Amino acid sequence: MEVLLERGYGEARVRVRYAETDQMGVVYHANYLVWFEVGRVEFIRQTGMDYKSMEIEEGAMIAVVEATARYIAPARYDDELLVRTTLAGVRGPIIRFKYAILRAEDATLLCEGETVHIVVGRHMKRREMPVKYAERFAELMHRAKSAAEIRSKV
């Protein structure tokens, strides 16, 4: 978790598979949403928690209720990508994540986006976030805010 806090984001690596490209050799736009999920799950893992346990032990899931993506430059077959994920906000059972997808080779920003989630139970009804997740996310938000304030004074 300390590495995540130092950087200010979680990071996952993915490599573009041939099946993820269209006839022009460019990544099909919907694949970026899949990579947002890869980044989000890895972000949660890098906080010292894991999404699978949240589902199994707590009976809680985070359902996507909104997703946005802004495409800037194309990714192509065999590109290695960095998916950088930040926790953008938490309010009760609502969680927002932001993403930046970059080409690893040259750090070119390819896509940026955001997802909004709501915590739900097994029957897809809204519920409170499990306590340990709420506490960890609150800690992350507080520490990220403190780090931003320190950086702005430098």
Exactly one of 22, 78, 79, 106 is catalytic; name it. 22
Q: 81: burial class by Cβ within 10 Å (0-12, 13-18, 19+)? A: buried
Query: Is 78 one of the annotated active-site residues of the chain?
Result: no
Q: Running DSSP on this structure, what letter comes out for residue 74?
A: -
The domains of the chain, with CATH numbers, are 2-149 (3.10.129.10)
Position 102 scores a pLDDT of 98
Q: Coil, strand, or helix at residue 88?
A: strand
∠ CA 127-145-55, nearest 5°, is 25
Position 148 scores a pLDDT of 63
Report residues of the chain scoring pLDDT below 50.
Answer: none
Question: C-alpha distances in angstroms, 102 versus 6, 29, 31, 123?
Answer: 19, 15, 14, 36
pLDDT tens-digit readout, 60-105: 999 999 999 999 999 999 999 999 999 999 999 999 999 999 999 9
Position 73 scores a pLDDT of 98
